[in-house]
Structure 1
Amino acid sequence: MITFADELWIKAPPELLFALSLDVDAHTGSMAASGERAVAGVTTGRLGPGETVTWEARHFGVRIRMTSRISEYRESSFFVDEQLSGPFRRWRHEHRFTLDDGGTRMRDDVTFSAPLGPLGRIAELTVLRWYMPKLIRQRNLFLKQLAEG
């Protein structure tokens, strides 16, 4: 299992970043390099409590699908998305938004594990432990640019 965090200060109110982080269209914009798109569930606009989205993308030349649900939700300050089905044995992504010095401290805490037992553990240690934080940072920098622009 891999756990990592990403934290970024953004000159925008927490309410805006919360909304952008739940926006399907903002997410697909942030993941344009992998061709990520929503194909089922909520496919455009903002996700809400209990709602699901199925993402399709290409990573390492392989097409993947992942269905996530917003499993916890506190308006403007916190939400969690968890994988219901997809490439991981487990995926939990906590999003926190805290007012800080006239802007927002946005923090992501991610815990995931790959399938396939020992082979999955090798993938975690050799590729996924650096690849997944890079994707989250890319997404967060995209949201920062949207919010501050």
Structure 2
Amino acid sequence: MTTIRLTTWVNAPVERCFLLATNRNLSSPGHSNVPDHAFGGGSLEVGEAIRWKIGWSMVSYTSRIEAIRPYTYFREVMMDGIFRHYEHDHHFAAMDDGTRVRDEIRFTTRLGPLGHLLESVLRNGLMNILIEKNGELKRLAESNEWQRYVQTGDTTRQTVSVSEAPSTVSNLQRFA
């Protein structure tokens, strides 16, 4: 299993960072990891499925939001796609001088021994996508541009588990 860890420091409140990271409309033309289709606004919900296409390639996967703990954590798990196993944990922690955003991706590929070679290539690609997305999160959160994506009513989120969420399928671009 391959693990990718990245920590990004953002000079903005934890609530703002979390709401930006879980916003459906948040996208940037330069992103490599893009959804197949765009859709309406609002925040991600537990149980939502998201279909991703990685960059210019034909590689895609579908993940589901498995858990959300408002302002501190959300988890995405692959349901279908190129990986045998894929989990992405997003952690947010308030610090004295802003927010620590910590991502951890764990994945394995199919294809046995050949998959190990593919894992190193995918690791580099996923790390670059994660750096790009977290850079965009930092840029938005530290400027006034965040107000285009976060509504004042968004701050009333509740903790839910997968069994409580409706089974909806959505396509979006969000921070990985």
Does the pair score TM above 0.5?
yes
Judging changes above 3 Å, is the alpha-carbon distance between structure 1 residues 21 and 33 closer, same or farther for their aligned structure 2 residues? closer
- Root-mean-square deviation (CA, aligned residues, Å) is 1.9
5+ residue gaps, structure 2 = 144-176
Q: Which runs of 4+ in 1 moved over 4 A?
A: none
Q: Provide the secondary structure at the position in 2 that maps to 1:109.
A: strand
Q: 2:140 matched to which residue of 1?
A: 146
* Distance in structure 1 (CA, Å) of the matches to 2:32 and 2:69: 30
Q: 1:49 matched to which residue of 2?
A: 46
CA deviation digits over 1:59-108, x for unaligned, max 9? Answer: 4xx22322111111101110100111112111100001100013101100
Question: Which TM-score applies when normalising by structure 2?
Answer: 0.73
More helix per residue: 1
* Distance in structure 2 (CA, Å) of the matches to 1:51 and 1:35: 18
Q: Provide the secondary structure at the position in 2 that maps to 1:32.
A: coil
CA deviation digits over 1:6-36, x for unaligned, max 9? Answer: 001101111111111112322x32x734371
Q: Partner amino acid for 2:32?
A: S
- The higher relative CO (CA closer than 8 Å, separation ≥ 6) is in 2
Pairs aligned (count): 142
5+ residue gaps, structure 1 = none
User: Of 110, 116, 123, which aligns to 2:118?
Assistant: 123
* Distance in structure 2 (CA, Å) of the matches to 1:119 and 1:3: 18
Structure with higher Rg: it is 2
In 2, are the aligned partners of 1:2 and 1:111 still within 8 Å (CA)?
yes
More strand per residue: 1
Q: Partner amino acid for 1:16?
A: R
* Distance in structure 1 (CA, Å) of the matches to 2:40 and 2:105: 24
In 2, are the aligned partners of 1:97 and 1:107 still within 8 Å (CA)?
yes
Q: 1:132 matched to which residue of 2?
A: 126
CA deviation digits over 1:94-130, x for unaligned, max 9? Answer: 00110001310110011011111111111113x1232
* Distance in structure 2 (CA, Å) of the matches to 1:57 and 1:133: 12
In 1, are the aligned partners of 2:31 and 2:132 still within 8 Å (CA)?
no
* Distance in structure 2 (CA, Å) of the matches to 1:5 and 1:112: 12
2:24 aligned with 1:36, yes or no?
Answer: no
Judging changes above 3 Å, is the alpha-carbon distance between structure 1 residues 96 and 33 closer, same or farther for their aligned structure 2 residues? closer
Judging changes above 3 Å, is the alpha-carbon distance between structure 1 residues 56 and 148 closer, same or farther for their aligned structure 2 residues? same
2:59 aligned with 1:64, yes or no?
Answer: yes
Larger deviation: 66-75 or 48-57? 48-57
Question: Which TM-score applies when normalising by structure 1?
Answer: 0.85
